[in-house]
Amino acid sequence: MKIVMLGAPGAGKGTQAKMIAQKYGIPHISTGDIFRANIKDGTKLGMEAKQYMDQGLLVPDELTVRILLDRVSNEDCKDGYVLDGFPRTIPQAEVLDEALVKLGDKIDFAINVDVPDENIIKRMSGRRACPGCGATYHTEHIPPKTEGICDVCGAALVLRDDDRPETVKNRLEVYYAQTQPLIAFYTEKGVMRTVDGTVPMEDVFAAITKILA
């Protein structure tokens, strides 16, 4: 079962990807994690990617797909995997598709976690992070015991720049320009499914497991 997770930033697709991975015993694969692992291990692919990253450049799609295919060739991916954060654009999806076809493989499901913009802005601007230990909170959903203070280490919580309303709006604009077209791409391939991401997390997951059943 090969799954691609789609959805705007803050829609909760990463959380759902982890829950899918746990339930079905398949790896949750984030391109950021793979890049970091390859760079840390000093692999040939990792060093190639690092050259671009050190210059502040995007890693080319073809290299990203090579790193991804290297990861999914591992034994733990034999029953499938969940891709989170890739593909982000139509060209990336096409390169991935071509590479999988050569392996006699394909994406089985693309799942879009659909959440309106206003919900996302409210959701993300309520996030708080601990600069000390990395713990995360939400002013409404997961508040700390003492307002503004980390439960774990007692440091003052911060609103990350990424979660500020103006930054979130910019990220949404990028998403609509680059990533939303993937919905039409995977719809055409007959693998696109959409779930309502505004309901409680457990209900989103129940809707996804129904699709995957």
Q: Hey, which residues are catalytic here?
A: 13, 88, 127, 160, 171
* 3-state SS, one letter per residue, for 116-169: CHHHHHHHHHCEEECCCCCCEEECCCECCCECCECCCCCCECECCHHHCHHHHH
Beta-strand relationship, 127-129 and 109-114: unpaired
Residue 127 tokens, joined:
């996030």
Q: How far apart are CA 179 and CA 204, in angstroms?
A: 21
One-letter amino acid of 112: N
Q: How far apart are CA 127 and CA 139, in angstroms?
A: 6
Q: Residue 93 CA to chain centroid, in angstroms?
A: 15
Q: How far apart are CA 87 and CA 40, in angstroms?
A: 23
Element (H, E) at 66: helix 61-72
Q: How far apart are CA 141 and CA 113, in angstroms?
A: 19
One-letter amino acid of 150: C
Decide: 64 and 92 in contact? Cβ < 8 Å: yes
